[in-house]
Chains A and B, each alone.
Chain A
Amino acid sequence: MARMISYREAINEALALEMRRDPSVIVMGEDNAGGASAGSPGEEDAWGGVLGVTKGLYGEFPDRVLDTPISESAFIGAAVGAATAGLRPVAELMFIDFMGVCFDQIFNQAAKFRYMFGGKAVTPVVIRTMYGAGLRAAAQHSQVLYPLFTHIPGLKVVVPSNPYEAKGLLIQAIRDDDPVIFCEHKALYDMQGDVPEGAYVIPFGEANVVRDGDDVTIVALGRMVSYASEAAEELAGTGVDAEIIDPRTTSPLDTETIIESVERTGRLVVVDESNPRCSVARDISAIVAEEAFGALKAPIQVVTAPHTPVPFSDVLEDLYIPSTQDIVNAVKTATDWKR
């Protein structure tokens, strides 16, 4: 029998389960305890983070859910430091766009400790952060920046596409001994899905074949996986059988599953909500071009946002986000290609 919960609840459940299992797991972030520690009047744990993802954790773990000032450099750095000293911190970087004020602690410190220190550092920190367009939140609260993290050796980058994936991947992230950037699409928080009650892990670097097909391979990331599924249903009606691959993690990236699929279908469409330059979409395209060039029957198609900031006005933002129709069109370009 299906147990339907939301993406938000799945993440909360993963945190609660791991905090119960392992006393070294702590959670910190802005508004996570709602100033409860200062004894302010009003409801303790009022928000549970700005979109309520950690709500309820403070009540159960008052000593391990920490509020922070709006001071990302300090508390993301503190999470990194605490990870070197025996804790497993899960820090909430509210919006991924705020990486700009704390990136040094992530990419010059956390990511490099193990290598710079000759293999002697263990830094099991998880940075949960929400990304993506669709909430009319404009240019500084809507970006898709996982490509920037993916570029950095030493970081692992996770982009869960539904509630089941979010829970299993977050538990893996918390148990993982390397620094992990866990990217939650804010437009998915209310998405419902069938999620087992207990703890389970989804290993990193193992793509999920969401749909089998022989005519074209669609690799889609995060929220774009459900868009790709809608496109595949529409294409099925026109006799095109699309295979959909969700890489789940952009670092490590399961190139094997992607290449194996393209060698069978001969066509690749990559769907990535980020800006196109130096994106994961272009990275996957390049890898396939290098390693499976001979199998390609058509040029690789890439569906991304345009090379612009995220606009505010709803009409513009809707144009900005890749659509199901964009994916259908890209697949048609690939399947109709004639030399």
Chain B
Amino acid sequence: MSRANSATSMRDALYEAPGPRTRRKIVVGTVISLALVALGVAAVIRQFYVTGQLAPRYWSFLLEWTTWRFLLQGLMGTVQVALTAGVIALVLGLLLMLGRTSGVRPLSALCRVVTDFFRGVPSLLLIYFFFFVPAQLGLKMPSFWMLTLPVALAASGVLAEVFRAGVNAVPRGQVEAAMSIGLSSAKTMFKIVLPQAVRYVIPSLIAQLVVVVKDTTVAYVVSYPDLMQNARVLITSYDALVSMYLVVAVIYILINYLINRASVYIANKTGVKIIR
């Protein structure tokens, strides 16, 4: 099924088909909003011009290969941290959810506390923790892990809840059918419930990966050379704050756009129609 199709059906599901008067209103609304957007963009460019931000000295360094090589190195750092943190968070989130739904009371309570803790504490605070505490205890931790671990832990709390929502969304009848043919509760979970739960929550999982990518931008706290940190270095050396931040913003948007496209692709690919 194409994306256009699913978008149409979503609109159809929420609103009735527009009549002639509504269609006219939609056209008027579209024209007005496009005009407003154009005005806004023009105002920004004008302001840039007035304040001298369009001067070549703020942009010329972007024509040099060394600039891009440095940014690409930062991008690689971001990708490494995001992927590692994402994988750790997925595994940990799954374990936390399994523990919480296990029915073993102490384990369940523990997993619940851990989940709520990581979900509730800002990731920046966790990063400070990993920055200061191991050092105080005399442990030397590479900056990669000082960034990756807290980002992963923060995401794992959310992912545990995402997985749990998915598990809860699997109809009770699926579990009953599995039990009635004599599957153990572990097999019921891994063969019947989880495969369906994961399909339900793929969009939320991917959305959380976007959050992970954005969380890595506080790498400067631990001086890890990610995209943001390298951009800050470039800003200082070329004194080009606005232009650099604009470029970096576009790169982040592109990364997250790609992740979102991937999520749509995966969701369509694995989409299973569920009987209701």
Q: Do A and B bind each other?
A: no
